[in-house]
Structure 1
Amino acid sequence: MASTNPFRISIIDYLNAAPLNYGFKHGLGYEHFHLKFHVPSLCANQLKSGEVDAGLISSIEYLRIPKLKLVPGLCIASPKRVRSVVILSKVPPESIRTLALDTSSRTSVVLAQILLRERFGVDVRAVDMAPDQGAMLAQCDAALLIGDVAMRTRREGLIVLDLAEEWHAWTGLPFVFALWQVREDAARLDIPGGVGPFFHRSLEMGRENLPAIVDEAWRTIGWTKPELREYLTENISYSLGEAERESLALFFEKAVANGFAPENKPLAFL
């Protein structure tokens, strides 16, 4: 049924999500939406508990949280090399025995362990840790870091595994890290077209204002503006097309087979 209550959206405040979030953060549909800002794992928790109606959350959570629908056509994916989701290792991949996990993103945690297990033939002992590169590598052979933290990491003298690049080399497919996911019981907005078009318009506004996003990131990330623009236009993709759906199906199949999700299920869209 239609509702006069605000539609509650949980927002990832990472650079790779900035174009998707831009419209919402700059007043799009302000009379309809209430925004909350979290890391992906907390977005997922709030969506599961019903504290929010929609969230830009890790793709693996689609298999773990019941009764969700996806916003069609949108995601955070990487066609080949992502640069912001990496394993930094002191030893070759085949020799990794302990892996420190930044648990801010649950999809990356699953992908890292699947790649090490199936691509490199090692079954590591995973250790959940705060995203502190020094502490992680002091305790473990390798560390998984994601997002803006990963973009700022020191990589000299370390072996770097870019997870999207490894997935692409293994499967020939892009990798889908996150999706806009909406609770089936979310109240409907009493407006033509409902909530769906707002998500697409928010991304359109982000693309229109990409120089502003790059300028803000330049002050905090430490990359040059050309590097940041390349990251947001080439390393990251926001379109959920046929190849991305194929990749999701394969990732979900492997996640279930490796015990990271209870069961597979088809994609359902708004």
Structure 2
Amino acid sequence: MTPYIAEAADRLAGTATAFQESWDRQQEAFLPDREERLAAMLDAVDAVTDGHAPRLLDLAGGTGTISLRALARFPRAEVTLVDLDPALLALAGASLRDRARVLVADLSRPDWPARLPHRDFDAVLTATALHWLPADRLTDLYGEIRDLLRPGGLFVNADRMPDDALPGLTDRLTARARERRAARYAAGAALSWPDWWQRAGADPVLGPLVARRREIYPTGHSPEWNPPVSWHLDTLTAAGFAEVGTLWRGGADAAVAAVR
């Protein structure tokens, strides 16, 4: 972490747990089966490491959602988290402390792996994050990820990935999920994405980092580019992975897995 993010992480020690909880509730309102997909990812990690302590890269790891669950499942895991968002990195640093490396890295740049401590990960995991990269950059990133894995290592990306063969049903499932989410927001059961960021921006420690975040993403964080699962499978295959397939699916979301 850069010094100003590390300092913020230290100052967040008393409130990080509460912000992590509100982040989880906000995310679960948008992704009701969030824990199911994360569990499927960690099951796959367990399979490729035969239960041994894995060396993991949490890609665009945000507040540390995957890292925290990975360490709960594999207490001796060696975890590295990378992200660019200063507010989320501060929360990750405050929550993970000395149990993981928390690093600043810009995945839109091909030199981002230079920030990493090594290049022989057992698994690279990411969830609901890479959709903000354009097609050509994500294509290159998949190749870069392959090069970071040991032979037999695993990559899993969980995100909005519609099933090509079910366009009509996918649209109906998405509409129903949107209705349920709106009802939860209206009842106050969870914060929406804008509401969560508004509260983070009002926090005396996170507020300056949220302002820096706006400088990094002046037009917003995501172009909402969500290609079908076939695009990911074809692109991963072209990147040179030995095995590629769908690990998990829920409605319009999926987790694709690739083994080097």
Query: Could you say which TM-score interval applies, normalised by the shorter chain?
Result: 0.3 to 0.5
TM-score normalized with structure 2 length: 0.33
Q: Which has the higher contact order (CA 8 A, sep 6+)?
A: 1
Higher strand share: 1
Higher helix share: 2
TM-score normalized with structure 1 length: 0.32
